[in-house]
Amino acid sequence: MTYKLPDLPYAFDALEPVIDTQTMQIHHGKHHNTYVTNLNKAIEGKSDLDGKSVEALIADLSKVPADIRNVVRNNGGGHANHSLFWELMAPKGKGGEPSPDLKAAIDRDLGGLAKLKESFAAAATGRFGSGWAWVIVGADGKLQITSTPNQDSPLMGGGVVEKTGTPILGLDVWEHAYYLKYQNRRADYVTAWWDVVNWKKVSELYAKAKK
Ligand code: MN3
């Protein structure tokens, strides 16, 4: 099986003015595509890994042969993270609101939506260098905020990441995700990003993950 670059669920300019067209084109067509290409190259001829979804592949890296483990960690992580990221966004005004169920969980576990945004921003701006900020559903069914370096995913078990769980919201804080428009102002990008969050999708992911 080979992994494929998914189409964006909207046009390249659909997230303007929060995320500019050129950033979306380069981010999807070059950066994400490179992760897919490198992942396919790495697993070529490894029949043991055949047919695994990228999420299953990265969830247990101990099953990946040692000589390609880091390549799969970086590029499989990159493919999984970006495939999710595109789905988590929608044009301004189209993303809806958290479902009543998700809203209740946010209130219960994270102190409400305003506090979630504050803690998430702290995770996103506090991540030194490149990485991601996340809201995950932990093994106990509770929401948690975390961040990962590089292309690590909260799906990576076995002590690879600080907190393992199912990601339901994630923000790419690599410079390639925002530099053309925001330059060094990562905090402004994080604040603006809430306008394009697809809460309908986040709510769906929460409903699936909490089971
Ligand atoms: Mn990226």
One domain, residues 73 and 151:
no
Q: Are residues 104 and 191 in the same domain?
A: yes
In a shared domain, residues 40 and 127: no
pLDDT digits (tens, 9 = 90+) for 148-198: 999 999 999 999 999 999 999 999 999 999 999 999 999 999 999 999 999
User: 32 alpha carbon to ligand 1 midpoint, in Å?
Assistant: 7
pLDDT at 211: 77
What is the tens place of the pLDDT at every residue in 13-30? 999 999 999 999 999 999
| pLDDT (average), residues 42-62 | 92
What is the whole-number distance in angstroms between the Cα of residue 75 and the centre of ligand 1? 11
Ligand 1 mean position to 129 CA, how many Å? 13
Instruction: Determine the distance separating the centroid of ligand 1 and the alpha carbon of 165, expressed in angstroms.
Output: 20
Q: Give the domain extent around 29.
A: 21-87
What is the β-pairing status of strands 166-172 and 143-149?
A: unpaired
Q: Is 152 helix (H, G, I), strand (E, B) or coil?
A: coil
For the chain, give the percent of residues with pLDDT over 90: 96
Which of the four pLDDT bands, split at 50, 70 and 90, describes residue 48? confident
Domains held by the chain: number: 2
Task: Examine residue 115 and state whether it is found in any structural domain, yes or no.
Answer: yes
- Residue at 5 is within a domain: no
Sheet holding 143-149, edge to edge: 143-149, 131-137, 166-172
Domain final residue pick, 87, 111, 137: 87
Is the domain of 142 the same as that of 187?
Answer: yes
Ligand 1 midpoint to CA 203 (Å): 23
Dihedral (CA of 39, 68, 53, 158) sign: negative
Cα 54–203–198 angle (5° rounding)? 80
* CATH (domain of 164): 3.55.40.20
pTM greater than the 0.85 cutoff:
yes
Based on the domain organization, do 199 and 104 belong to the same domain? yes
User: Do 83 and 105 fall into the same domain?
Assistant: no
Asked which of 87, 118, 141 is the last residue of a domain, the reply is: 87
For 114, other C-beta atoms within 10 Å of its C-beta total 10
* Distance (Å) from CA 73 to ligand 1 centroid: 15
